[in-house]
Amino acid sequence: MVTTRERARDARLQASIDEFLSHARYERGLSANTVQSYRRDLVMWQNYCAKRSIKGPPTHEELTDFLGRLRGGKEPASKPLAPSSVARMIVSLRSLYRYLAREGKIEVDPTSKLAAPRRPRSLPKAITLEDVARLVESPARDLLGRRDRAALETLYGSGIRISELVALDVDDIDLEEGSLLVRSGKGSKARRIPLGRKALAAVGDYLSVTRPELLKRSAAGAARGALFLNARGGRLTRQGCWKLLKGYAESAGLGPRVSPHTLRHSFATHMLDGGADIRVVQEMLGHASLATTQVYTLVSDSHLREVYLTSHPRARG
């Protein structure tokens, strides 16, 4: 018989997995097939944890036992898994627990010592300034178009995550000072970010024209001060924001190249290209470690090389 405590433990792991998969789909912009692969792997891991009453983050021994059972075809596997499948499982586990550690949900990533196949380092994909302009100027000047323009300008203008965008309240933005307060950053660390003229203008337009109309559609108290509202007057969700971004990316001719993280990557890359100090960019992005931000310098280095090759008189043959 399953006890109340066991049900609560299983529910916590399920909630963590659901949150991670939502992040992978709607913030990182991973394909539905990739997210489904993560889900299949993590369901198998969840079954293993339930059978062994694993509480909280697993130990290194529990992780290696689980992977050993998969290689040997023991429960929860029905047959020995191929090395490629085990490698994919390691990636799924590491992605889950790295996410939970970055979010401050767990203190230490238990998968940090797991050996995984070396993969080429993937650089963040940024779009050009021209592509950014096409994207943020795509929305029409109608009711929801004003909201969408404000959301896109804010994402690119501040570099915040989509989860941070939809968590913003009206009181978090200061139009006079030209800044927004992010209260829901990773590790629950708040930070104040300056916001540029175009983003402030778009948000001001949305606040004066669109939000009052959307608020009329809201059930009493449903929005609770949310900055960005959906068509029914409730708080805009990550999924809703992701869908509107994908729609405008298609209409701007950018297709699948754009995800919410693309705007974040572009913000960081363009800031560094423009001469911003990397520690300033680190603070604005909310990175706990400078090493996380330094990956953007690799992108900017390639830009610098391109400028050098086209500009220096002795760089060309």
For the chain, the residue count is 317
Choosing from 161, 235, 238, 265, the catalytic residue is 161
Identify which of 18-27, 204-213, 254-263, 282-291 has the greatest average pLDDT: 204-213
Contact in structure between 152 and 248 (CB atoms under 8 Å): yes
Which pLDDT value is given to residue 313?
56
- Among residues of the chain, what percentage have pLDDT more than 70? 85
- Candidates 102, 265, 260; CA nearest to 189 is 102
Choosing from 261, 265, 312, 314, the catalytic residue is 261
Choosing from 23, 25, 147, 287, the catalytic residue is 287
Between residues 215 and 256, the one the model is more confident about: 215
CB atoms within 10 A of CB 190: 11
Please give the helix or strand (H or E) that residue 192 lies within, else none: strand 191-194
pLDDT at 53 over 50: yes
CA-to-CA dists, residue 230 to 22, 122, 226, angstroms = 18, 34, 10
> In sequence order, what are the residues at sequence separation of 6 or more whose Cβ sits closer than 8 angstroms to the Cβ of residue 33?
none
Identify which of 30-44, 131-145, 297-311 has the greatest average pLDDT: 131-145
> Which of 1-15, 39-53, 60-74, 227-241 shows the lowest mean pLDDT across its residues?
1-15
Q: How far apart are the first and last CA of the chain?
A: 77
> In sequence order, what are the residues at sequence separation of 6 or more whose Cβ sits closer than 8 angstroms to the Cβ of residue 158?
180, 182, 193, 195, 199, 267, 284
pLDDT, tens digit, for every residue of 74-98? 888 889 988 888 889 999 999 999 9
pLDDT at 303 over 60: no
Contact in structure between 79 and 70 (CB atoms under 8 Å): no
Q: Where are the alpha helices (DSSP H) in 29-142?
A: 32-51, 60-72, 83-102, 129-136
Check if 312 is active-site: no
Check if 296 is active-site: yes
Check if 71 is active-site: no
Check if 270 is active-site: no
Which pLDDT value is given to residue 171?
94
Q: Please report how many Cα atoms fall inside a 13 Å half-sphere around the Cα of residue 99, on the Cβ side.
A: 17
**Mean pLDDT, rounded, for 168-183:** 92
The confidence band for 1, taking pLDDT boundaries of 50, 70 and 90, is very low
Choosing from 23, 264, 265, 270, the catalytic residue is 264
Contact in structure between 116 and 110 (CB atoms under 8 Å): no
pTM of this prediction exceeds 0.85: no
Q: For residue 202, give the 3-state DSSP assignment.
A: helix
Choosing from 23, 149, 186, 238, the catalytic residue is 186
Average pLDDT, the chain: 85
pLDDT at 306 over 80: no
pLDDT at 223 over 80: no
- Phi, psi (5° rounding) for residue 169? -105, 165
